[in-house]
Structure 1
Amino acid sequence: MQLSHIAAFIGNSLSIAVFIKLGFSESSNISLTALAVADLVCVVSAFWSNLCFLLNFRQSILPFNATNMALLTGSGLWAFVSRTVAWITAFISLERCLCILVPLKVKRIITPRSTLIAMVCICALTFCPFLSSFFTYSFVWVYYFHLNATILDVVPSSNKYAILLEKIVFVVCGVIQPLVAFSIVLVCTVFLVVQLRKMSSWRKSVTSAKGHWGHNSGENPASSAPAVQDRISQKEERLVRMVVVIAITFIACFTPTCVMLLCSTVFEELYFFGVYRRLFVVCGMIAILGQSVSGSVNIVIYYIMTSRFRSSLRCILGLDRQEEKH
């Protein structure tokens, strides 16, 4: 599992470097950079969480309780940032849908400035509730007899208002937010797939019409207009295809998280300090692994489906120079 986190860390770091090199004149580069940054934070927090659960690490002499510390600084942080990833993916999917529905107005609606504001708002609305964890949980020094030492530990608050706040944050940010984002991505993906099929059918009909005009009466007087439309459609279609692949990957990898959230709402004791703690940890590990796979695959999608990203990445890695020397 740690290898997948390392791969995702390297992949997202390279993605951020490439998007910085490409610039942020296009709104899609801003949203994809935000997605890579959120994935990077998820990977780092997941790596730390898994490290805290390793037996050798837990049994080593540490000034803190590694397992409980992972609740806030590891898996807890990952849980909130993964919601950021979900909403950024939903925004990217909605952006592509708008490009198809209102192609003439989308440039005025989705600008680099508006995209940046949207990314900041998404990060604030999904990450700020994480700060409430420091009210519902406390850092205390606890003496452990078997260790003969006092170490830093994390304990849930007994304050009734803190317990109420935790329940509200869990329902709103832990269940409703990710499920709504997941639903948006799912609906937008279905819509985009349908539109891709229509684009493909339209292109085939245009190609057939061009062949018919060329065979019967030479050059079609209106052939230049369809040619321009065809080029625009192909450029848009490539970006739509990439977003669809990213969305499908997200849906496949985020499904375990949604299942765990739904089960947590049904079984109240399915949480970190509950009766089914071990099952909760196992489910959390599976969800974290899925998110890590999603984050590590994105760079492969960009590399295969975007020529500008591919050339910039090869330039950063120095591969183009090596080919020129040979």
Structure 2
Amino acid sequence: MINIKSLFVGAASVSLIVAGNVALANEFQGPVRIVVPFAPGGTSDILARYIAPELSEAIGQPVIVENKAGAGGNIGADYVAKANPNGHTLLLSDLTALLAAPSVLDNVAYDIESDLSPVTMVSYSPYVLGMSQQHNFESFDDLVEYSRNNPGDIAVATSGVGANNHITTERLIQDLGLDWTVIAYRGGSDATRAVVSGESDMLLNGTTASLPFVLNDQMNALAVTGEERLEELPDTPTFRELGLPGELDGTYQGILVTAGSPPEVVERLQKELADILATEDLQAKIAQQGGQARPSETSAQLQEWMTEQMAELTEFIAGSDIKQ
């Protein structure tokens, strides 16, 4: 005779086990690493160090920031692509650098579309065109005039081959017909230090990393990207005011995870990071350096944005000299 009571007890036990497994899948079982594929002190690094303690508190595990610089961000990206797909290794990077890599580099050891999965956009920062104080240009027009009269004399520092500020620099060179010498460094912080020291003449870099140097009179700002002037630099015109193309827009930072990570963990990460980036504290920290927190509503939203951007970048790079 079938014991009905046993059936109900057995079913309840199975339900509890399934529920327990789902709950376990949403939990983090050890330290989480945020890999920054650039040198310390750049935009990605600053954002990672803002986020790490907040994420640690949210998930109840240590969150460690690791810098793995080189190859325009692709050494760090490759590290995350080949990590254990358990959702515990994250990549925080300039998204354009990642999306441009297949078109710029001959040997990219990972596939951004199959080896990395998007979690959330983090922020947008306009670019500041910062000049070394060895030059005394009073305006962007002065820089252009000097460049035309002295072809090849202006050295422009970038975060690496294929980084967004490299691509933006190349667009500017094409639009204005200038001859600038473009130098790739190991990240935005190295590029910024090169301009501050006078090793290079100028750079376009995100406000999060560059603005403090401008405000401390270590670089001169001639222009900014974005829709409007920065509150911190009210006398510095936008590129649009100067009649330059709207695509000169700035740096977009995002977080990705090793592909194949459990969907429940990725969903938890997306939710926790979106909540963190929505706090007044994080928004204020990013805003103080001229940026804007821009968490994605879903991972799919970031995926859609990345697909569109990759198509545009592939087309532009195919018609340019951007190549390592």
TM-score range with shorter-chain normalisation?
under 0.3
Mark the structure with the bigger radius of gyration: 1
The structure that is helix-richer by fraction is 1
TM superposition score normalised by structure 2: 0.28
Higher strand fraction: Structure 1 or Structure 2? 2
**TM-score calculated relative to the size of structure 1:** 0.27
